[in-house]
Amino acid sequence: MLENPEKYGPYGAGYIDKFAADEIEMSEDQKAINQITDLGYDPADPIQQNLYIEGDFGVFHSPEYSVTAISGNYDVFGDGTIECIPTPGHSPGHQAVKVELEDTGTVILAADLAFIQEAYEKELQPAFAWDTEHAIRSNRKIRNLERKENAEVYLAHDRKHFEELPNPPESLV
């Protein structure tokens, strides 16, 4: 997307230059295609080679995939180890994922709930959020869960959070 935003995915991503291109730093090793190769997979095999582009998800509506439509919290394996938590605001279907790890405890992958730790703590939302009121409620929901379960919360765009996560294929376990 950074190398040729106008030609990224079926609709392009020219907007990236206006709001984030200068903020994104990525080495060759961090590119998804290289991480896939490092894990021993052929990059031609993954279904999604571009991320977060509307057309990428159409394949999941075909009968060859089993997709579960969910509403509310969803315990993925029925054992409490991985739970999807609705956190609308950034987008209508935004979700955080709560993971129970044996050694680490509760980890919440909050994705785009807030972009940086300060915004998370102060309930600051970007102007382009789908619904600011929902976003603030979702932020409070995760902060309450964080306190209740003594959880670690990771935001997808906070550079410090990103640096705290182990590089694949290492894990937090």
The pLDDT value recorded for residue 17 is 62
Q: Are residues 20 and 96 in the same domain?
A: no
Domain of 118: which CATH number?
Answer: 3.60.15.10
What is the pTM (predicted TM-score) of this model? Answer: 0.65
Domain assignment of residue 148, yes or no:
yes
How many domains does the chain contain in total?
Answer: 2
Domain assignment of residue 173, yes or no:
no
Q: Answer yes or no: are the C-beta atoms of 129 and 89 closer than 8 Å.
A: yes
Alpha helices in the chain, H assignment, sequence order:
16-19, 32-38, 117-122, 132-149, 159-164
The pLDDT value recorded for residue 72 is 94
Q: Are residues 101 and 47 in the same domain?
A: no
Q: Are residues 81 and 154 in the same domain?
A: yes
CA distance 44 to 167: 22
Q: Are residues 86 and 57 in the same domain?
A: no
Domain enclosing residue 127, as ranges = 74-164
Q: Which residue, of 24, 40, 61, is where some domain finishes?
A: 61
CB-based contacts of 144-149 (< 8 A; 24+ apart in sequence): 145/85, 145/98, 145/108, 146/108, 149/98, 149/105, 149/106
The pLDDT value recorded for residue 58 is 60
The pLDDT value recorded for residue 8 is 66
Q: Are residues 96 and 37 in the same domain?
A: no
The pLDDT value recorded for residue 15 is 61
Domain assignment of residue 78, yes or no:
yes
Joined together, the tokens standing for residue 164 give 């705290």
Q: Answer yes or no: are the C-beta atoms of 94 and 111 closer than 8 Å.
A: yes
Domain assignment of residue 68, yes or no:
no
Tell me how far CA of residue 128 lies from CA of 31, 89, 135, in angstroms: 26, 10, 11
Q: Which residue, of 33, 61, 89, is where some domain finishes?
A: 61
Q: Are residues 35 and 114 in the same domain?
A: no
The pLDDT value recorded for residue 11 is 59
Q: Are residues 41 and 78 in the same domain?
A: no
Domain assignment of residue 69, yes or no:
no
Instruction: Tell me the pLDDT of the chain (173 aa) as tens digits.
Output: 667 777 766 556 666 666 565 666 777 787 777 887 888 888 776 654 444 454 555 666 667 777 788 889 999 999 999 999 999 999 888 999 999 998 889 999 999 999 899 999 999 988 778 899 999 999 999 999 999 999 999 998 888 887 887 776 777 66
Q: Are residues 82 and 20 in the same domain?
A: no
* Three-class DSSP category at 7: helix
Compute the C-alpha angle 45/94/48, nearest 5°.
10
